[in-house]
Structure 1
Amino acid sequence: MEYVIEMLGIRKEFGGFVANNNITLQLKKGEIHALLGENGAGKSTLMNVLFGLYQPESGEIKVHGKSVKITDPNVANDLGIGMVHQHFMLVENFTVTENIVLGNEPTKRGTVNIKDAAKDIAALSEKYGLDVDPHAKIEDISVGMQQRVEILKTLYRGAEILIFDEPTASLTPQEINELIEIMRRLISEGKSIILITHKLNEIMEVSDRVTIIRKGEGIGTVVTAETSPDQLAELMVGRQVEFKTEKTLANPKDEALNIENLVVLDYRGIEKVKGLNLTVRKGEIVGIAGIDGNGQSELIEAITGLRKVKSGKVTLNGQDITNKKPRQITETGIGHIPQDRHKHGLVLDFTIGHNIALQTYYKEPISKFGIIDYKKISKKAKQVIEEFDVRTGHGETTLARALSGGNQQKAIIGREVDRDPDLLIAALPTRGLDVGAIEFIHRRLIEQRDKGKAVLLISFELDEVMNVSDSIAVIYDGQIVDTLTPSQTTEQELGLLMAGQTKTKAAMKGDD
């Protein structure tokens, strides 16, 4: 059997921390090969070795049967290896074409020939069904479209082997389906793909084989058609995983959050939240289900003080918090797990310990008379890291940017839950997390509810909304169009309501 890529016995260390230990991965031509593992298991590290961003301590890499040394990404590109990173490497105020040719600019008589490059990119885009406008600015296009630009960037450089690093972590369900079709088209055109993911349903749908890594060790490779999600989850985590979160019936009490006739504008001055009404009571989880872009982001930002409210009222425990400053709102009793962990959740160049203290550093017991006690920060951080199973290389002194995405998320959730807020806003709390971490976080949200706290869950994952929520508010075009009980609805009915159907039509179609 000839493989297009062979990674044999790869070992990678970071200052004594072993990220990859004797891992073997072999990619056949024309296959989608999934690389599965928990957050922090070493998946991205292994692919960064293949792409030349890291150099291994030991092991061998072969491309088309020949042993190679991949000293940097340019060498990887020359060998036909391209990587679509989880966090896109794009310049926001450049056009699609400018981003794609960056570092590889075509010239004509000594000047950069953008016009011809745009034509080539349009042709590539059409060939692979990517539907990208070469002249659009990155800042003006959706996350899903930005990802297509990253794919085009690799194809423009002649990649035959594509590495996708958690490609669906930031995508809507519709964009995920479109991406799966794009991957299949790439394979039909003779490409080979390594897919880093921990979404078992996507692995079952799209991959041919799966290599599993657990805590930096290679567990083995299985044929997808010969396994099941349950078996893959157990191989990945090392124990059986409960996909359905067990919970008792909710016992809601007094009103915690009340939103009346809320109107919020986006950055262009367009109404994104349009007279929205919503109530969340203590002792219940209200899930907001909707397609991305229907006002969810603006709603969360308005509640938490990150965006001004044009009109309407937001109250917490009867206290008006409309247009208050974020710190005032936080101190009123709101915890916020933001949807963008890098933009609003962490200071990436701070240690994880300092990030855990971001909401409390100015208060006792951490601060007295304006003087911060760093030993107390360290003690609190160690407690949160242990309780929330945040996997770090060097404990609380590890820089936030050095953690895997899932461990960054667990640190944020630990920080917010530890403050014991009356209302916990959880926006896409399990985005980018593996099944073990998802199970853990769902339990934590239910624990908050059972302690008599209010939880507002915003998610694009219908199974998560159905599984965790006690009540589901469907958002469409900036308004709550219906409120449902999970046990009395279906994912199909929910999906139709999210797409703007009336309840009667959705129910009729659900019965078909």
Structure 2
Amino acid sequence: MEGEMAPILKMENIVKRFGELVANDNITLQVEEGEIHSLLGENGAGKTTLMNVLYGLWQPDEGALYIRGQKMKLRSPRDAINQKIGMVSQHFSLVLPLTVSENIVLGDIPARNVLIDEKETRRRVLALAESCGFHIEAQAKVEELSVGEQQRVEILKALYQGAEILILDEPTAVLTSQETEELFKILRSMTSQGKSVIFITHKLMEALLTDRITILRDGKIVSEQDAKGATHAGLVEAMFGGKVTVREYKPIAAKDRSPVLEVKNLHVKDVRRLTRIKEISFNVLKGEIVGVAGVAGNGQKELIEAITGLRKVEEGSILFKGKEVTNYSPKARREMGMAHIPEERMKMGSFSDLAISENLILGREDKPPFIYRFLSNRFPFLNFLPIRSFAEKQVKKYNVITRGIDALARHLSGGNLQKMVLAREFAWEPELIIAAQPVRGLDAKTVEFVNERLVEQRENGKATLLVSYDLDEVLRLSDRVGVMFEGKMTMFPHDKINRSEIERLMVGGGGGEG
């Protein structure tokens, strides 16, 4: 390992176990200076686990780590940062009320230093951003930034701390196609300065834009190759061990087309008390999927929160099964048969420190058969036998890969966590499903699994509101499509859906149906 030709990073024979589950099985990964090295694999393949080992979050059970030819033991993220390793996870760790520059220097302030030279901090942040080709306002509040801009702040934060090896965990999962293009330009600017990037992804087309590709399957490396000579078909074969069948979903004529959800003249404000939803009216019928397309930040979040009871409605009304629920609590709406698959499956869709069995009964933990009461119902107790039986059944039905129902939800991969959320939300035969970005960050096989479950619900007469920033997904699944721009919606009936017209409306063009 000694000498000038040593790679900037080598992880040698890494093994990481969680009980009987071997997440990383004798993995050897080598990263060269000045390259973008993609780590490709389906959800649960072991990609994030391996990078958590590299970043000092978890300790390997076997194997060794070499940085610039020197054997290292990283016991914490601070050790990793000291070795010039930075990591940007899928879930950002920014302090929203603080400015960009304050967030960037937050973890780099000496404990004894209570005074910060704001002018000098701004100067250093802007100089760093300029050197990487970033365009960002140092004094802007992070809560006012788009998701793509927040990601750049996370990258700048890592670079400010001296990172020469940057780990990006599913960095494009929350980005638009334009933001993804801008990200790759930034990464190329960084590698031209000698920095190395480990790009964790499940998206084949993005892996082909990197320099080298390492593919993991079931915790093992199954392929290593240069991106230049790789093919889409070859990557699919290595990633999944065969082809992934992509189904075409066609609308079906439901016998009963009565409205399940009706939104009338809706007005909603955001956290800054600015009106984000303006005069929106639409409905969702039994046995149909209504897709909502649009660039992120055009009111989709506020619309979902208003429908599910998480945000106050300023004006207008929401009817569910013909009954006005505008002022109903989220719990009351759920008990009426409204299911919610939230965009943030980790923060909003689960409790990471609860067991899978406990997560699967959330929302019904106070109802039979999961609870029994003594002494005139004054003393409720959880009934663990039916809880465990129900959890085992749902884990098997939805193919949630886990070491057991007692495992904590935070140990699940993104895809298995989403399967767990679906298993819970669909278990009680909901009549309305609000699905926000349900396949974001998932591999092709899990995407198909989720889509098939949504279509099954439609075929069973359920109504679904599908909100996604992925236009292909919206067009593929939806019976009707609503396009959101600046808080307003234009609806396209099935026979009038026109991709070019929808794309034009998404960026503020005129026209459209409905």
Q: Same fold (TM over 0.5)?
A: yes
- Match for residue 510 of structure 1? none
Find 1:257's aligned residue among 258, 261, 268.
261
- Match for residue 505 of structure 2? 497
Secondary structure of 2:396's match? helix
Deviation of residue 17 (structure 1)? 2.9
Task: Give the alignment of 1:305-384 within 5 angstroms.
Answer: 305-369=309-373, 370-384=380-394
Distance 1:219 1:500, change over 3 A: same
Provide the rounded CA distance (Å) in 1 between the counterparts of 2:71 and 2:369.
57
Provide the rounded CA distance (Å) in 2 between the counterparts of 1:102 and 1:69.
25
Kept after mapping to 2: 8 A contact 1:100/1:156: yes
Deviation of residue 447 (structure 1)? 0.5
Distance 1:96 1:256, change over 3 A: same
- Match for residue 418 of structure 1? 427
Secondary structure of 1:436's match? helix
Deviation of residue 486 (structure 1)? 7.8
- Supply the AA of the counterpart residue of 2:75: T
- Match for residue 385 of structure 1? 395
Provide the rounded CA distance (Å) in 1 between the counterparts of 2:330 and 2:97.
29
- Match for residue 450 of structure 1? 459
- Match for residue 298 of structure 1? 302
- Supply the AA of the counterpart residue of 1:211: T
Provide the rounded CA distance (Å) in 1 between the counterparts of 2:174 and 2:359.
23
Task: Give the alignment of 1:456-475 within 5 angstroms.
Answer: 456-475=465-484
Secondary structure of 2:276's match? strand
Note the alpha carbon deviations across 1:64-113, whole angstroms, 9 max, x for none.
Answer: 33333333333333333221122223233433333322342279998544
Deviation of residue 493 (structure 1)? 3.2
Kept after mapping to 2: 8 A contact 1:210/1:222: yes
Deviation of residue 466 (structure 1)? 1.4
- Supply the AA of the counterpart residue of 1:313: S
Task: Compute the RMSD of aligned alpha carbons.
Answer: 2.3
- Supply the AA of the counterpart residue of 1:234: E
Structure 1 length-normalised TM: 0.92
Task: Give the alignment of 1:42-81 within 5 angstroms.
Answer: 42-81=46-85
- Supply the AA of the counterpart residue of 1:241: V
Deviation of residue 286 (structure 1)? 1.0
Secondary structure of 1:260's match? strand
Which structure 1 residue ranges, 5 or more long, are not aligned? 507-512
Kept after mapping to 2: 8 A contact 1:233/1:435: no
Find 2:32's aligned residue among 28, 49, 56.
28
Note the alpha carbon deviations across 1:166-214, whole angstroms, 9 max, x for none.
Answer: 112223333323222211221222221110111222222x212211111
Deviation of residue 229 (structure 1)? 2.9
- 1:208 matched to 2:211? The reply is yes
Deviation of residue 57 (structure 1)? 2.0
Kept after mapping to 2: 8 A contact 1:209/1:224: yes
Kept after mapping to 1: 8 A contact 2:277/2:488: yes
Distance 1:103 1:339, change over 3 A: closer
Distance 1:106 1:135, change over 3 A: farther
Deviation of residue 152 (structure 1)? 0.9
Give aligned-pair identity as a percent.
Answer: 45
Distance 1:300 1:4, change over 3 A: same
Specify which structure has the higher proportion of helix: 1
Distance 1:119 1:250, change over 3 A: same
Kept after mapping to 2: 8 A contact 1:335/1:419: no
Secondary structure of 2:8's match? strand
- Match for residue 509 of structure 1? none
Distance 1:234 1:474, change over 3 A: same
Kept after mapping to 1: 8 A contact 2:46/2:218: yes
Provide the rounded CA distance (Å) in 2 between the counterparts of 1:199 and 1:340.
19
- Supply the AA of the counterpart residue of 1:210: I
Kept after mapping to 2: 8 A contact 1:51/1:72: yes
Provide the rounded CA distance (Å) in 2 between the counterparts of 1:192 and 1:48.
17
Deviation of residue 412 (structure 1)? 0.9
Note the alpha carbon deviations across 1:203-227, whole angstroms, 9 max, x for none.
Answer: 22x2122111112111121222323
- The number of aligned residues is 501
- Supply the AA of the counterpart residue of 2:505: L
Distance 1:109 1:179, change over 3 A: closer
Kept after mapping to 1: 8 A contact 2:481/2:497: no
- Match for residue 188 of structure 1? 192
| Segments of 4+ moved more than 6 angstroms | 106-110
Deviation of residue 441 (structure 1)? 0.3
Provide the rounded CA distance (Å) in 1 between the counterparts of 2:173 and 2:230.
23
